[in-house]
Structures are given as C-alpha cells and as structure tokens.
C-alpha cells in the first residue's frame, strides 16, 4: 500500500527516475560518489534538516538584507568631524589679525628700507667729505642736488665703495680670507635687501630669522664704524635701527613664550600657507610638527574654559585676540550643542565677577545656553555675586532674566529655595526697580505666598506674560531639539515635559500635536484610590499601581509618553482604544487628507509624528485601526514620494486584510504606484509587503487558538478572522507579489537589487509551513524563478538554491504531515509538480549541462536556439559556464593548473575535478548551493534503501 502510494507520488517518483537516468548515463558526475559526499550525507540526513538559515546572511556573502537596504541609504554627513576641525578656521583673515596685533612692527617694516638707503648714503657722504682733496670737489658738485639726482646716486655709490675699502683695510683678517671690499659690500647689501624683503613679506618664523640676521649685520656695521673710528653722528642711524630690530625681536620672542598664542599664530600661518602654491621644504616639516602638536593639545573648548577660569581681574578685553577666540569657541558650542553642566559654573562665575568688564559679562550671559541641566551651585554662586554690589543694574536684570529662562533646567532646587527670601527681597527691595518681566511673576507669587512679596501692584495690569526672553528660549529649544533629549533623564519618562513651543498660528492649524496628559478632576472616578496617569513617575510605580491607574482625559496624550505606552500595552478597555482611534484618525485625516497646505516645516513635523506613531505601533506590535482606515484612503491619493519611509512602514503594520477587500483596498492603489515609480520605490514596496507578510505570519503563529475548530466558515471581519480567511489573504498577497515582481523585473531589466528584494520575499514564503505553522506552500512564478536562475549575479542563484532547499524541506514535512490522520493537511499535486519542474530545470541547467533540451524544464524553440549561434547551448548554464559562476570557474582553473596558459574550462568537468570544483564553490560561501546539493542529491541512497526494504 505504502509502496504504491509512494511510487505514485509524482514528486518522488519523478525525482528518483530522473536522478537515476541522469546518473546512469554519467557515472563520473555522480555527485555523491566521492568521499566528501558520503561524509556530508551522514551528517545531513533528511530528518535533520530542521535548522534553516537566517534570511539575508547566507554564508560570508553579504546580501542586501531587508532591514538595512533603505534605512542606510540616505547617508547623512557625519557631524563629528566638523567641530574638531573647525577651530582651525579663523574667524577673520589671519594676516589682518597679525598686523593688528603688532602695529609698531608694521610701521617699522614699512618705513625702514628707504630710510636705510638714505642713512647709508648720508653716512658715507659725510665720511667722504673728510677724506682727501677729491672729496671737496665732489662736495662742491653736490650743491646742485635737485637737478642731478642720478649723479648723486652714482656718487653715493662711489662713496660707499670707498668706505668699504677702508673697512677692508681696517680689518686685515678679511684680506687673508680673500674677501675684498667689493665682496664685503655685496655681501652686506644682499643681506640687508633680502632680510628686509623677508621681514616685510613673510610672516612667522622666517621673519624672526630675518630680523636676527639684520641685527647681526647692523652689529657688524657698527663694529666697522667703531673700527674705523667714525664719530657717533655717522653711525647713529645704524645704532637706532639696531635698537629697533632688537626690540622687535624681543617682542616677538615674548609672544612666542605664550604657548596657545603661538599655536594660533602658527595655525593662522598654516591656514595661510594652504593657499600658497609654493611651500618650502622646511616649512612643510614644521606644518607636520604643528599638526602633531595640535592633536596632542587639548580640546579648544577645554582650553577656553581653563582660560576663563584663570583669567585675571582687569585683563583688557579690547583687542584681546585670545579672549575673542575663546569666546568664539564657547559661542559656537553653546549655539550648536549647548554647554555641558560642568562648564556653566565656570562661565557664569567669569561673567558675573566682571573680571573683564560689563560688556563681556552681557555677552557671556547671552550665550550661556545649557545643553542639559544647570547645576544648582552655579546659580547660587551667581546670586552671591549679586551681593558684591559692583554689578550694574542692567547686568543684574540680565542675570535674573537668564535665571528665569533656565529655571526649569536647574538640576535641584533645595538649596535655592533656602535663599528664596534673599532673592525676593533683592528683587523687590533692592535698587532693581520694577522690571516689567518680573511684575507678572511677582504678582502671581503674591497670591501664593504674600509673605515673600511685599510689593504692591497696580490693580490694572495688562494681562498675560509676554515672552521677554524669546531669543534665549529659541536658542534653548533649538539646542534641545538638536540634542534630541528631553531635559533630564528622569523627566523623560514623565509627562511634564512638552514638545518645543509651536507658534500660535501653527498650533491652531496643526493636528499633529500630541495633547498633554491630564485627567479631569471633576469627572467621577470609579474609585477614590485611582491614580491619575500623569502622577506616574517611574516604571516600578506603574507596576505597583497597575490596577488603579486612571486613564487620562485625552487618550491621544498617551502617545507622548513611554510609560503610558507600557500601560497601554496591557490595557483591555475597548472604549479607550476607540477614543485613541478617534483622535488618531482625526489627526491623520485632517493633516494629510483634508488639509491642503504643505510646507517643509509641516513635513518635518509630520514625519516626526508618523515616526512616533510607528514606534508606538512597534511597541504594541500591532497597528491601530484608524491608521489602517487612513492608509486605505491615503493610498489612493498618495504620490509615492511624500513621507515614503513612514507611509510604507505604517503600511507594513496593517493587520490581515480580508481577501475579499484586499484587492480594492491595497493592491489596486499599490499596483498603480508600483508600475509608475522608480526602481527604488519598487524595491521598497516589495520590502514593505514582505514585512507585512512576516507580521501576518507572526500574528498567526502567536494568536492562533486551538480550541475553536472553525475552518470552513469565513466571516471575514478582523475580529473573527479564521484560518481559512487568513490563508486566503496570504495566498492573495503572495500571488500579488508574484505578479508585480514578474512585471517589475521585466520593466527594470532584471535588476539585481529588485531581484534581491523579491528573493527576500520568497525566503519568507518558502518557510511558511515550518517556521510559522501555516499549512500553505506557494511556489514562486516562473517570472521570478527563471530570472533568478539565469541571473548574472551569483548571489541570486545561490539564494534561489537556498529557497528551493527550504521549499523541499517544507514539502517533505508536509508530506509526512499528510499521512497523519489527526491533522489532515493537503497540498495540491500542482504544487509538487511545479516544484519538481523547477528542480529539474535547476539540476539540468547547473549540473548536467542539459539546459534547453526537451523535458528539462526550460524549453526553447530550435530556431531560437539556432539564432543564438551558441553551439553547445545546453552547457552554457552549468556551474562552470553560467555567467554568474564563470569567474569562480576561471579562478578554480588557475588554481588547478597555474602553469597553463590557455583556458580550457571544460577540463573542470572531467573526473574528480567536478567534485573539487563544487567543493571549491562551497568554500567560496555559496551555502545555498551546498544545501540544495546536499538535500537533493542525498535522497538517492535513502530511496534506494527504502526501495530495497520494500522489495
């Protein structure tokens, strides 16, 4: 009986027949012949194939996995790099600051070269006058100087020559060295000119060197003057110039002693150098050294902090570049990320101590924007500075306003409360006057604690608080939004913290603001012990009071708090969910369907809202029904690009759609979008449907109850979804994906990316029975199978092999299940036939080189094959000649015959080499092929054994 059954099964019957015929003809190629095969067979019996691969991680090959394919795509610029480097960039051109810093130097450099010439000519003219008879004649000629300038120059040159001659004579050692007067004159002249040029034009260290050289030259000149015995009048100029040079050098050296100052100058120099084409060798060495020094040096912000904590009282702030730089560093950090808590006391202390004057105090207060919290000590210290009494009123007011702005961010207020008496007396009685921004606050305080506020208020005050500190608040909120953390970690779980302030107009129009959690005091609660949700502060408290928590007045507010969401997770009140759905549906409809206006800010807000919604649904592990209703309507008007990631993520969360409606609600709008959009949209749609299917299957495997045996009736409502109803929907979905991916692949020219996403989907489909316990096996359509089989990407072929292996495993266990009487489960013969045909195609293509031959799966007309002009077309898709594996074959060929010059891939097919080659492929990470080969081909022996037993 069993035997007959077995033989009639088209799947096994066909298969064995086929394999026998194949191996009978080709004994060499029998894959399970070698020792490697048999050994593998022992470990992998047919019953042991329980484990399956994690999708997307077959072997060492990296597939584009479903999760990170698109999430990683929009590559955001890494923000870490910029702050580190940005301090290199100077706030203004470096040359300018350099010049400003050394005004005397500038004038010196500009003035001296012409002066130098005059000085020399004067000195030498004087000397010539007192030396011999010819000099008097020259002096007489010189009286008509205006008309004979050229002659004058010539004569001064002649005089200089003579002076040098006397120098050379006075120092006999020069003669011995071979330095004539001409050479001496040239050396000194060249040195002067070149050093002067360097001193004028080149900043940095060469300037100092030139300065030094020039000073030496001056000393030498003075020495010569002394040697000759010139009167002081003659060398006074040289003396003054020498002194000037000395001073300049001293000043330059002094500034170099301050390391940080030097460093920035170097940096400025570096920055400048980058623009210069010509960089000398030693300079580039120095640049490298500076880089090293800089990397060792501290963070500029810490340096700034150190500076502000140590800076002495009375340091001038005007023209203080060091200060400017540090302030700039602090400002940049404050406005971009906010200041860390430990920096605030330092900076506040610096500002309020007025160590560098009021202007700087105000400036510092303006940029004192905390990143997270303000330490209490800093505030108390600040208040204590108020008592010192040297602070002008304006600054005191400024400090108070700052204090009010950051009041909510002070980490603890116990000590601060202790000095409230002082603060109030200060605010009300000191010379502060009546500050408009304080009046309302004080008036309000007077109601609560009249003993603290002694001021009397005018009876008719204009109502309302004006926003006095809007710039601070704006900066603060932007910093906080950027840091993406709510004020403090312990506050994050609670409900007090609201989103950033929204402009009033927007608030009126916006529907996407999550309301604040509050309960109604006047509503009659069921029990007196009830605990309003907004009073919850921590998770343990939630656990303790789980049974007496009162829901908020507005259910929508629960979306804004993670604690509330945890509570919602265990909530079974259908009214509460209905309220939530009304709110959510209203918000979504108003924002996306009924509302016409759309701006970039709205989009940002909308994306944030949808992301909150997505994370909520992920936490609860199911979608809200109002989201579904919204999505079904929105899909009809969606352009496929607006908020695509969010919409698709929400779409993948929808619950099982009854098969009668699925086409109208889901498939028709999706199909329109799919066929008219780009490749990437197609991929993301397939990905979305894959994750939808995964969620349905998971839902099935988790929620399925055993006690209700209702298969036949399908009252297709979400509440009473039956097994058959679910199966119908799953079949519809899988067939839909089969259709659109077939056409999509054709449209996109069998793009590997789309193929990969499609195979992802079928990796889910092929395991529906074993992994998710859904008695359903659905084969991929030919439009997906053959493109994957004949794909040029080895990854696709490998994954197809893996999928076929999983199909086989599922079918085999389904077959076994079929025989058990208690749970009858039938898979149609058509499925088996389809599977067998695919296996035959694969084996004939990849292993047996019998592709396109009759009865081998894919068949093509003779004329078509002839037109292709490929002589041995049957072997073009075996593992050696397959376009996906050709490179592996060549690789293998080179490893086998490294000395061979010509390529003969057919030689791989011969004898043992085929087995080696397949082993080589497995070692390359093609685990899918390995699985397929091992599971499919090892059947032979077991079939044989059963055959023997039956005989």
Restricted to residues 459-478, the positions that interact with other proteins (CB under 8 A) are 461, 463-465
What is the DSSP track for 803-859? Answer: HHHHHHHHHHHHHHHHH-SSS-----HHHHHHHHHHHHHHHHHHTSS-TTSTTSS--
Cα 106 from chain centre: 47
Of residues 574 and 951, the one with the C-beta less far from other proteins: 574
**Residue 515 CB coordination number (10 Å):** 17
Q: How far is CA 29 from CA 24, 264, 801, 890, 935, in A?
A: 10, 75, 19, 20, 17
- Cα within 13 Å of Cα(24), Cβ side: 6
Minimal distance, residue 827 CB to other proteins, in Å: 15
| Residue of the chain from 245, 303, 378, 580 that contacts other proteins (CB under 8 A) | 580
Q: Is 748 exposed, middle or buried (0-12, 13-18, 19+ CB in 10 A)?
A: middle
Of residues 43 and 820, the one with the C-beta less far from other proteins: 820
- 566 touches other proteins by CB under 8 A: no
Of 130-138, 341-349, 533-541, 618-626, the window that binds other proteins (rule: CB under 8 A) is 618-626
Minimal distance, residue 433 CB to other proteins, in Å: 21
Of residues 43 and 574, the one with the C-beta less far from other proteins: 574
By three-state DSSP, how is residue 566 classified? Answer: helix
Which residues fall within 8 angstroms of residue 239, CB to CB, at 6 or more apart? 222, 232
- 575 touches other proteins by CB under 8 A: yes
Residue 44: what are its φ and ψ, rounded to 5°? -115, 75
* C-beta separation of 858 from 845 below 8 A: yes
| Residue of the chain from 19, 116, 198, 555 that contacts other proteins (CB under 8 A) | 555
Segment 484 to 513, residues that bind other proteins, using CB under 8 A: 508, 511
The tokens for 761 are 């989907």
Of residues 27 and 521, the one with the C-beta less far from other proteins: 521
- 1 touches other proteins by CB under 8 A: no
Of residues 604 and 773, the one with the C-beta less far from other proteins: 773
| Residue of the chain from 474, 711, 864, 903 that contacts other proteins (CB under 8 A) | 711
- 581 touches other proteins by CB under 8 A: yes
The tokens for 99 are 């010049």
The tokens for 652 are 């993948």
- 626 touches other proteins by CB under 8 A: yes
Q: How far is CA 332 from CA 87, 369, 476, 553, 561, in A?
A: 10, 11, 14, 43, 32
Helix (H) or strand (E) holding 400: helix 393-405
Q: Please, what sign has the CA dihedral across residues 339, 344, 350, 353?
A: positive
Which residue is associated with the tokens 């190629």? 29
**Residue 65 CB coordination number (10 Å):** 13
Minimal distance, residue 714 CB to other proteins, in Å: 10
Phi-psi category of 502—alpha, beta or left, where left has phi over 0 and alpha has psi -120 to 50?
beta
- 450 touches other proteins by CB under 8 A: no
- 82 touches other proteins by CB under 8 A: no
Of 195-203, 280-288, 350-358, 573-581, the window that binds other proteins (rule: CB under 8 A) is 573-581
Nearest Cα residue to 649 out of 695, 604, 605: 695
b or e along 434-466 (b: 16 or more beta carbons within 10 Å of the residue's beta carbon)? ebeebbbebeebbeeeeebbeeeeeeeeeeeee
Of residues 351 and 665, the one with the C-beta less far from other proteins: 665
Of residues 288 and 444, the one with the C-beta less far from other proteins: 444
- 422 touches other proteins by CB under 8 A: no
Residue 314: what are its φ and ψ, rounded to 5°? 80, 10
- 620 touches other proteins by CB under 8 A: yes
- 824 touches other proteins by CB under 8 A: no
| Residue of the chain from 212, 223, 437, 632 that contacts other proteins (CB under 8 A) | 632
Of 127-135, 310-318, 324-332, 523-531, the window that binds other proteins (rule: CB under 8 A) is 523-531
Which residues fall within 8 angstroms of residue 9, CB to CB, at 6 or more apart? 815, 832
Minimal distance, residue 447 CB to other proteins, in Å: 4
Minimal distance, residue 330 CB to other proteins, in Å: 34
Of residues 82 and 582, the one with the C-beta less far from other proteins: 582
The tokens for 441 are 């606050």
Residue 191: what are its φ and ψ, rounded to 5°? -60, -45
Of residues 276 and 462, the one with the C-beta less far from other proteins: 462
| Residue of the chain from 129, 205, 363, 589 that contacts other proteins (CB under 8 A) | 589
Segment 670 to 709, residues that bind other proteins, using CB under 8 A: 699-706, 708-709
- 770 touches other proteins by CB under 8 A: no
Of residues 177 and 709, the one with the C-beta less far from other proteins: 709
- 2 touches other proteins by CB under 8 A: no
The tokens for 280 are 């000398």
Of 197-205, 467-475, 620-628, 759-767, the window that binds other proteins (rule: CB under 8 A) is 620-628
Which residue is associated with the tokens 């509570």? 567
Helix (H) or strand (E) holding 532: strand 531-532
Of 93-101, 133-141, 569-577, 790-798, the window that binds other proteins (rule: CB under 8 A) is 569-577
Q: E strands within 341-398?
A: none
The tokens for 393 are 């009123």
Of 367-375, 517-525, 782-790, 840-848, the window that binds other proteins (rule: CB under 8 A) is 517-525
Minimal distance, residue 514 CB to other proteins, in Å: 13
| Residue of the chain from 174, 213, 491, 571 that contacts other proteins (CB under 8 A) | 571
- 375 touches other proteins by CB under 8 A: no
- 623 touches other proteins by CB under 8 A: yes
Residue count of the chain, please give it. Answer: 951
Minimal distance, residue 504 CB to other proteins, in Å: 11
Segment 647 to 676, residues that bind other proteins, using CB under 8 A: 655, 657-658, 661, 665
- 633 touches other proteins by CB under 8 A: yes
Minimal distance, residue 710 CB to other proteins, in Å: 5
Of residues 131 and 701, the one with the C-beta less far from other proteins: 701
Minimal distance, residue 344 CB to other proteins, in Å: 29
What is the DSSP track for 478-507? Answer: HHHHHHT--S-HHHHTSS-PPPPP--HHHH
- 452 touches other proteins by CB under 8 A: no
Segment 252 to 291, residues that bind other proteins, using CB under 8 A: none
Nearest Cα residue to 726 out of 745, 707, 710: 710
- 177 touches other proteins by CB under 8 A: no
- 720 touches other proteins by CB under 8 A: yes
Minimal distance, residue 408 CB to other proteins, in Å: 17
| Residue of the chain from 446, 537, 833, 913 that contacts other proteins (CB under 8 A) | 446
Q: Is 322 exposed, middle or buried (0-12, 13-18, 19+ CB in 10 A)?
A: middle
Of 83-91, 567-575, 735-743, 861-869, the window that binds other proteins (rule: CB under 8 A) is 567-575
- 526 touches other proteins by CB under 8 A: yes
With both helix axes pointing from N to C terminus, report the angle between 232-257 and 259-275 in degrees, rounded to the nearest 10: 100
Give the number of residues in contact with other proteins, rule: CB under 8 A.
87
Minimal distance, residue 443 CB to other proteins, in Å: 5
| Residue of the chain from 261, 355, 440, 815 that contacts other proteins (CB under 8 A) | 440
Q: Strand 549-550 relative to strand 531-532: parallel, antiparallel, unpaired?
A: parallel
Of residues 720 and 923, the one with the C-beta less far from other proteins: 720
- 609 touches other proteins by CB under 8 A: no
Nearest Cα residue to 346 out of 321, 378, 298, 370: 378
């Amino acid at each position: 009986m069993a035997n007959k059954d077995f033989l009639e099964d088209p799947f096994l019957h066909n298969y064995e027949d086929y394999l026998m015929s194949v191996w009978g003809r080709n004994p060499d190629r029998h894959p399970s012949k070698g020792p490697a095969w048999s050994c593998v067979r022992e470990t992998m019996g047919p019953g042991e194939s329980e484990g399956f691969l994690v999708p997307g991680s077959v072997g060492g090959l990296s597939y584009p996995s479903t999760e990170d394919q698109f999430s990683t795509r929009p590559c955001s610029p890494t923000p870490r790099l910029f702050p580190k480097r940005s301090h290199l960039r100077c706030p203004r051109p470096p040359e300018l600051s350099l010049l400003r810093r050394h005004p005397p130097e500038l004038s010196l450099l500009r003035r001296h070269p012409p002066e130098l010439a005059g000085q020399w000519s004067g000195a030498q003219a004087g000397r010539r006058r007192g030396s011999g008879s010819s000099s008097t004649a020259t002096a007489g000629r010189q009286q008509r100087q205006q008309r004979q300038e050229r002659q004058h120059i010539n004569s001064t040159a002649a005089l200089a020559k003579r002076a040098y001659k006397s120098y050379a004579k006075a120092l006999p050692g020069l003669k011995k060295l071979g330095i004539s007067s001409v050479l001496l004159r040239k050396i000194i002249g060249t040195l002067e000119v070149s050093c002067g040029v360097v001193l004028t034009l080149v900043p940095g260290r060469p300037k100092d060197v030139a300065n030094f050289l020039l000073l030496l030259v001056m000393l030498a000149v003075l020495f010569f003057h002394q040697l000759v015995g010139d009167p002081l009048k003659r060398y006074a100029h040289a003396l003054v110039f020498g002194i000037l040079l000395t001073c300049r050098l001293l000043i330059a050296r002094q500034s170099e002693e301050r390391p940080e100052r030097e460093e920035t100058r170097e940096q400025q120099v570096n920055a400048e150098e980058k623009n210069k084409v010509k960089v000398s060798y030693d300079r580039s060495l120095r640049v490298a050294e500076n880089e090293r020094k800089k990397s060792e040096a501290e963070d500029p912000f810490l340096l700034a902090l150190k500076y502000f904590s140590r800076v002495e009282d009375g340091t001038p702030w005007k023209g203080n570049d060091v200060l400017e730089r540090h302030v700039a560093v602090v400002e940049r950090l404050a406005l971009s990320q906010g200041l860390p808590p430990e920096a605030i006391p330092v900076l506040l202390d610096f500002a309020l101590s007025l160590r560098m004057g009021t202007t700087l105090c105000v400036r510092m207060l303006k940029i004192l924007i905390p990143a997270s919290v303000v330490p209490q000590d800093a505030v108390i210290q600040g208040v204590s500075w108020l008592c010192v009494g040297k602070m002008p009123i304006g600054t005191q007011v400024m400090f108070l306003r700052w204090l009010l702005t950051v009041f909510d961010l002070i980490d603890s207020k116990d000590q601060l409360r202790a000095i409230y008496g002082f603060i109030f007396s200060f605010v009300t009685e000191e010379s502060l006057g009546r500050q408009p921004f304080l009046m309302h606050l004080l008036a309000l305080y007077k109601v609560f604690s009249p003993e603290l506020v002694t001021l009397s208020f005018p009876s008719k005050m204009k109502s309302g608080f004006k926003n006095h500190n809007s710039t601070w608040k704006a900066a603060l909120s932007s910093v906080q939004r950027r840091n993406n953390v709510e004020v403090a970690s312990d506050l994050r779980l609670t409900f007090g913290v609201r989103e950033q302030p929204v402009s009033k107009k927007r608030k009126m129009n916006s529907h996407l603001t999550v309301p604040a959690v509050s309960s109604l005091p006047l509503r009659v609660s069921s029990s007196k012990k009830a605990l309003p949700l907004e009073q919850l502060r921590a998770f343990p408290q939630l656990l303790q009071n789980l049974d007496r928590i009162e829901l908020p007045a507005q259910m929508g507010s629960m979306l804004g708090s993670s604690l509330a969401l945890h509570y919602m997770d265990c909530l079974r009140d259908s009214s509460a969910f209905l309220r939530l759905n009304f709110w959510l549906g209203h918000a979504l409809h108003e924002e996306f369907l009924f509302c016409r206006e759309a701006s970039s800010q709205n989009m940002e807000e909308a994306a944030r809202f949808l992301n909150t919604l997505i994370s909520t649904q992920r936490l609860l592990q199911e979608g809200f029904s109002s989201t579904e209703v919204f999505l079904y309507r929105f899909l009809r008007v969606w352009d496929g690009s607006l908020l695509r990631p969010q919409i698709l993520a929400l779409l993948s969360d929808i619950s099982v759609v009854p098969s009668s409606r699925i086409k109208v609600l889901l498939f028709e709008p999706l199909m329109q979008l799919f066929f008219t959009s780009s490749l990437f949209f197609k991929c993301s749609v397939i990905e979305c449907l894959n994750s939808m299917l995964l969620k349905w299957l998971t839902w099935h495997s988790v929620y399925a109850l055993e006690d209700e045996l209702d298969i036949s009736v399908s009252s297709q409502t979400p509440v009473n979804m039956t097994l058959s109803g679910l199966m119908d929907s799953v079949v519809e979905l899988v067939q839909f994906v089969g259709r659109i991916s077939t056409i999509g692949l054709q449209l996109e020219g069998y793009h590997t990316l789309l193929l990969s996403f499609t195979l992802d989907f079928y990796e889910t489909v092929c395991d529906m029975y074993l992994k998710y316990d859904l008695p359903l096996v659905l084969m991929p359509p030919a439009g997906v199978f053959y493109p994957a089989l004949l794909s040029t990407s080895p990854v696709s072929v490998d994954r197809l092999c893996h999928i076929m292996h999983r199909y086989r495993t599922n079918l085999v266990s389904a077959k076994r299940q079929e025989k058990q009487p208690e749970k009858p489960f039938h898979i149609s013969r058509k499925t088996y036939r389809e599977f067998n045909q695919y296996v035959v195609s694969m084996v004939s293509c990849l292993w047996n080189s019998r592709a396109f031959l009759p009865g081998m799966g894919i068949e093509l007309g003779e004329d078509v094959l002839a037109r292709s002009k490929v002589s041995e077309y049957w072997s073009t898709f075996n593992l050696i000649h397959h376009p996906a594996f050709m490179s592996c074959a060549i690789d293998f060929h080179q490893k086998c015959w490294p000395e061979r010059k010509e390529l003969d891939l057919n030689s791989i097919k011969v004898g043992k080499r085929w087995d080696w080659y397949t082993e080589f492929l497995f070692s390359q990470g093609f685990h899918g092929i390995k699985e397929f080969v091992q599971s499919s081909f090892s059947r032979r022996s077991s079939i044989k054994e059963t055959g023997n037993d039956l005989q």
